[in-house]
Amino acid sequence: PAVSFDKIPGKEALTRYAGSGIPCLVVVDTNGKVVFDTFAGTNYRGPSAVLSELNQLFGSSAGGGKIAVAR
């Protein structure tokens, strides 16, 4: 379901990671540092790039499972 962004408590923390388009997939570490992002500067890479990077990161330790984009 759609959620009105202006009604999300603490949304200021979310806007720090927001890209300029939808979808914007951002992976951050426990310190809040961006690890993977659908945007490289202003260049939109898309969610598949982030999911590919996650697969590389977790592939061997997760039993070879793959993360994919549902279409």
Average pLDDT along the chain, 71 residues, taken 10 residues at a time? 69 68 78 86 87 83 56 51
Whole-model pTM above 0.85?
no
**What's residue 21's pLDDT?**
61
Over the chain, what is the mean pLDDT? Answer: 75
- The helix/strand/coil state of 28 is strand
pLDDT of residue 8: 73
Classify residue 30 by its DSSP letter: T
Cis peptide before 9 (omega within 30 of 0): no
CB–CB of 34/26 below 8 Å?
yes
pLDDT of residue 39: 86
Rounded Cα–Cα distance for residues 45 and 19 (Å): 11
